[in-house]
């Protein structure tokens, strides 16, 4: 919800002594009268005085501009070109990194802005959206941004892009010293993490990264995510006339049903899941089904458990097919690997402290889904995934609160200047 301030000054700070420590409570007004709050322990009054108010109007205007650019997976060229141009205008050194044509008609974007402070951080978001993501018209009501209801909104993941770019604009406007900022905007994350898989890491000098691509309260830090294995099983039976001589056939769907019935699926344990996603086969009702294609997956935070679940599924398909006199062809490939970071990892500790500095109680969590953070961790870049406040993603009911976008932008501004 947008709240309008009654204060006339641009920065009001009050310090109070609590148990021999000093906390500062600040209300900062923006040019449009909205205010953002800051509560938290600080190193000094000088540091607090540097809190930079977010230009909410510009942040939201840019976000709406981004979501209006059609960029469903594999069709990211327009938004990649737009972002490359905008980042260049902001002073970044920009590189357009090619990807295979079967992944996207666009390219990954790497951008770098040298900083005056010690350290470098890679910030990353994906540029693509799921369908229906063309012709998005954002609607703002009561501090909430939604689509008109016939498309997704695209806050996944353009809310992160808008927040990153607004934070950098604020730092530059205030001549605020900051870390060296590296950006990785990727194509085709949805459905496979392909952009980060093919991202040219030779440009990256940072040792740590932040992906902004999850939901939940601001301050949510994803420090654990599963690896995923894809399994494609093609069962080959024998056709026969279903009315005249069905006993002469071998029904591929009956083989599949028997195999699936004997599999451990869905929730296996706290760290592991498995699912049959799609089934395709059959020609007509009067033909015993000769062939069936099944696409399945397994996920786990534990690599050994993932391997064991995949082996269980494959051997079950093979054993049951043999019992029925059928054949099965199986393709199995690792989509991405798991990552797990401890709460006391220095990267996690620094991020939690930066959230605390702006009055946010950060929390670490695991997730059942993958993100570009999986691939960056696998490439040796210590990476967490932060919430931007996106909600009901991948649906036409998707929305995001303006207050959450402002808050994650505040975090980025503060973190980059620490």
Strand intervals (E) in 282-372: 291-300, 327-336, 339-340, 363-366
Please tell me which residue in 76, 156, 189, 213 is annotated as part of the active site: 189
Task: Confirm if 23 and 39 have CB atoms less than 8 A apart.
Answer: yes
User: Is 81 an active-site residue?
Assistant: no
- Cα of first residue to Cα of last residue in the chain, in angstroms, is 28
Query: What's the token pair of residue 158?
Result: 């353009």
Q: Respond yes or no: is residue 357 known to be catalytic.
A: no
Q: Using CA atoms, how far apart are residues 10 and 286, in angstroms rounded to an integer?
A: 77
d(CA 202, CA 211): 18
Query: Measured between alpha carbons, how far is 333 from 231 in angstroms, rounded to an integer?
Result: 7
Note the maximum CA span of the chain.
91
Catalytic residue among 128, 182, 357, 398: 128
- Give CA separation, 300 vs 189, 267, 303, in Å: 19, 10, 7
Distance CA 392, CA 389 (A): 10
Length of the chain: 418
What distance in Å separates the CA atoms of residue 282 and residue 288, rounded to the nearest whole number? 8
State residue 232 phi and psi, 5-degree precision. Answer: -120, 115
DSSP letters along 213-274, please?
EEESSTTEEEEEE-EEEEEEEEEE-B--BTTT-GGGSB-HHHHHHHHHHTS--EEEETTEEE
Catalytic residues: 128, 189
């Amino acid at each position: 919800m947008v709240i309008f301030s009654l204060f006339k000054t641009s920065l009001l700070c009050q310090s109070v002594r609590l148990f021999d420590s000093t906390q500062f409570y600040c209300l900062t007004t923006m040019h449009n009268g909205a205010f953002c709050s800051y509560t938290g322990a600080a190193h000094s009054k000088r540091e607090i005085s540097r809190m930079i108010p977010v230009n909410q109007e510009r942040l939201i205007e840019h976000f709406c501009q981004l979501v209006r650019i059609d960029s469903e997976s594999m069709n990211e060229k327009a938004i990649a070109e737009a972002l490359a141009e905008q980042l260049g205008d902001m002073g970044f050194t920009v590189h357009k990194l090619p990807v295979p044509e079967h992944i996207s008609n666009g390219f990954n974007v790497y951008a770098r802005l040298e900083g005056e402070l010690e350290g470098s951080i890679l910030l990353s978001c994906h540029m693509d959206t799921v369908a229906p993501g063309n012709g998005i018209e954002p609607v703002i009501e009561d501090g909430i941004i939604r689509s008109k209801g016939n498309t997704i909104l695209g806050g996944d993941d353009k809310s992160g892009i808008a927040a990153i770019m607004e934070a950098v604009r604020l730092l530059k406007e205030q001549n605020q010293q900051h870390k060296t900022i590296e950006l990785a905007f990727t194509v085709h994350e949805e459905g496979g993490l392909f952009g980060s898989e093919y991202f040219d890491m030779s440009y990256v000098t940072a040792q740590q990264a932040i992906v902004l691509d999850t939901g939940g309260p601001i301050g949510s830090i994803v420090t654990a995510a599963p690896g995923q294995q894809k399994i494609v099983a093609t069962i080959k039976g024998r056709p026969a006339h279903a009315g005249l001589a069905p006993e002469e056939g071998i029904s591929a769907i009956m083989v599949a049903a028997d195999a699936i019935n004997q599999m451990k699926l869905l929730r296996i344990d706290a760290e592991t899941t498995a699912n049959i996603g799609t089934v395709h086969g059959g020609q007509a009702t009067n033909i015993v089904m000769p062939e069936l294609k099944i696409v399945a997956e397994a996920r786990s935070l534990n690599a050994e458990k993932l391997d064991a679940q995949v082996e269980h599924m494959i051997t079950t398909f093979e054993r049951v097919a043999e019992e029925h006199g059928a054949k099965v062809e199986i393709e199995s490939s690792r989509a991405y690997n798991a990552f797990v970071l401890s709460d006391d990892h220095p990267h996690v500790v620094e991020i939690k402290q930066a959230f605390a500095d702006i009055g946010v109680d950060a929390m670490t969590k695991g997730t059942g889904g993958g993100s570009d953070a999986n691939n960056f961790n696998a490439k040796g870049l210590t990476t967490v995934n932060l919430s931007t406040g996106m909600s009901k993603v991948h649906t036409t009911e998707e929305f995001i609160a303006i207050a959450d976008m402002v808050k994650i932008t505040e975090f980025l501004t503060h973190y980059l200047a620490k």
